[in-house]
Amino acid sequence: MNDLWVFGYASLIWRPGFAFEERAKARLGGYRRSLCIHSYVHRGTPERPGLVFGLDRGGSCVGMAFRVAAEHGEAVTAYLRERELVTNVYRELRLPVRLDDGRRVQALTYVVDRGHTQYAGSLPVDEAAAIVAHAHGQSGANVDYVRSCFQEISALGLKDGWLEQMVRRLPGRS
């Protein structure tokens, strides 16, 4: 049995929730990070949905890849399914990612299902900020999630002009 690689592009970057042997900056081609999913559980409710990140078609995404020892692979996969597939808005795929050191690995990845009712698509900055500002779910305030993701993405040395504009429009600290 081989080790399991997991690709994180949002909250998994700073809060994977599982033990890992190695962590490396990585790039996934063909998908981009996007605040494109209405959250009905973790960062919102069905009555007042929040917004969370998904991997949407097009471009590429730099995130973090985590190597999990083979003997923990099944448990980590079960944990991720419970965390990520609550409403089945994501599709679980194994996709090739390129690590910063040049290695290529297949990583467990969660990609948005564009046909799902929670798919929000590309929203204007002001609309996204208004949704995020007022949403709260089981995992806390949507504002905290978006700010934390933005901080971690920035710490990786990545620029996202749309996200930066949106975060500036959120109430409270920026």
Q: What is the pLDDT of residue 156?
A: 86
Q: Grade residue 173 by pLDDT with cuts at 50, 70 and 90.
A: low
Residue 34 has pLDDT above 90, yes or no: yes
7 neighbors 69 (Cβ within 8 angstroms): no
Residue 103 has pLDDT above 50, yes or no: yes
The stretch 16-24 carries a mean pLDDT of 96
Percent of the chain scoring above 70 in pLDDT: 99
Task: Give the separation between CA 124 and CA 74, rounded to whole angstroms.
Answer: 39
Q: Grade residue 174 by pLDDT with cuts at 50, 70 and 90.
A: very low
Q: Which residues are catalytic?
A: 84
Q: Grade residue 135 by pLDDT with cuts at 50, 70 and 90.
A: very high
Q: CA geometry: angle at 75 spanning 74 and 76, to 5°?
A: 95
Compute the mean pLDDT over every residue in the chain, rounded to the nearest whole number: 94
Domains and CATH numbers, the chain: 4-168 (3.10.490.10)
What torsion, rounded to 10 degrees, do the Cα atoms 16, 33, 97, 90 define? 70
Beta strands in 102-154 (DSSP E): 104-112, 136-137, 140-141
Residue 16 has pLDDT above 50, yes or no: yes
